[in-house]
Amino acid sequence: MKTIKGPALFLAQFAGDEPPFDSWQAITKWAAECGYLGVQVPSNDARMIDLEAAATSKSYCEEWLGQAKANGVAVTELSAHIQGQLVAVHPAYDAMFDGFAPEHVRGNPDARQQWAVEQVQIALDASANLGLDRMAAFSGALAWPYFYPWPQRPAGLIEEAFDELARRWRPLFDHAEERGVDICFEIHPGEDLFDGTTFEMLLDRVDGHSRCKMLFDPSHYVLQQLDYLDHLDVYAERIGMFHVKDAEFRPTGRQGVYSGYAPWVERAGRFRSLGDGQVDFKAIFAKLTAMDFDGWAVVEWECALKHPEDGAREGAQFVRDHIIRVTPHAFDDFAAGDTDAAANRRMLGLRNPV
């Protein structure tokens, strides 16, 4: 078994225009001061990384990694969530998702998609240059407006959406294979991959591509009432990354799973800071340890109530308290005897072979 690495912090929710969140030097120092050993980096944020330089210059990578190391943290993974989202966008979301893209491709869905695909490729190249073997992403969504089957969906609609999703991602998986990097999709509402069934629908269409992996985030499963512990058993071989994020689901006579029109504080399901929600992290860390998960425990702060800096500091200690340092030997080894094949056969009442 392996001891899970951590704690690490996803920087996407913290990067901003005010110090210490406005530069790579300052935010890595701050993360280390909070107790983190690693950081996961949003690759679309120029304040954090020059992605094209990382994809083309080993010297830039060495300097950038060296700054983080000098400040006390390692880089765990790059995130291409935003670029992955734009690989597949239903027209109903064009206006909203244009804000994720640079100005020169806004209002042009084809150009925006081409830019997103190129960005995912560049993020894979950068990951490889940085010595990272996995990268986070969203899948994007073509079928999401038809999530609930009313009015009744025409036959073949969802199948065609996933056929197209596979056509767009298959070349990216192949590029990931060339670069030695897994693409780990965060299973997330609003994406076509929002649960295990939808993940399998893509996986089947890309012939079980070895670079198609999952980012496990139990908070999204609490909100849709999916069994996140059984999910780990089902997809153990496909879990490549782990977001440590808490949530709670408290249905009422007014709201249940579909409560997304209410503000976050008033929803039946809402994200919480670590330890304030309902996720059974003791069981999760035990399962991940037993299945030899070899990645990082990365805190993603999203909470409807608590200040992010408090959530970050508390989160670092929370993860430290849950990481299981694996035992080097079995607890009953003290009672073990030497291996003796002949003695074993005698204990079973068997004759030794002639």
Mean of per-residue pLDDT scores for the chain: 96
pLDDT by residue (tens digit) across 254-304?
999 999 899 999 999 999 999 999 999 999 999 999 999 999 999 999 999
- Predicted local confidence at residue 334, as pLDDT: 67
CA distances from 234 to 199, 229, 280 (A): 12, 9, 18
CA distances from 89 to 59, 108, 201 (A): 36, 12, 18
Q: How confident is the model at residue 1 (pLDDT cuts 50, 70, 90)?
A: confident
DSSP string, 145-161: GGSS--SPPPTTHHHHH
Residue 302 lies in a domain: yes
How many folded domains does the chain comprise?
A: 1
Residue 310 confidence (pLDDT) above 90: yes
**Cis amide linkage into residue 151, ω under 30° from 0:** yes
Structure tokens at 93: 């979301």
Residue 353 confidence (pLDDT) above 90: no
Burial 213-230 (b: 16+ CB within 10 A, else e): bbbbbbbbbbbeebebee
User: 78, 64 in Cβ contact below 8 A?
Assistant: no
Residue 190 lies in a domain: yes
Q: How confident is the model at residue 341 (pLDDT cuts 50, 70, 90)?
A: confident
**340 vs 221, which has greater pLDDT?**
221
Residue 335 confidence (pLDDT) above 80: no
Residue 346 lies in a domain: no
Residue 340 lies in a domain: no
Q: How confident is the model at residue 245 (pLDDT cuts 50, 70, 90)?
A: very high
pLDDT above 90 as % of the chain: 92
- The CATH number of the domain holding residue 16 is 3.20.20.150
- Predicted local confidence at residue 91, as pLDDT: 98
Range of the domain at 76: 5-329
Query: Quick one: how far is CA 125 from the chain centroid?
Result: 19
Strand, coil or helix: 271: strand
Average pLDDT on 14-37 reads 98
Residue 124 lies in a domain: yes
Q: What is the pTM of this model?
A: 0.95
pLDDT by residue (tens digit) across 72-84?
999 999 999 999 9
Kind and range of the H or E run holding 286? helix 281-290
**328 vs 10, which has greater pLDDT?**
10
Residue 196 lies in a domain: yes
Average pLDDT on 329-340 reads 73
Residue 19 confidence (pLDDT) above 80: yes
Residue 90 lies in a domain: yes
pLDDT by residue (tens digit) across 191-209?
999 999 999 999 999 999 9
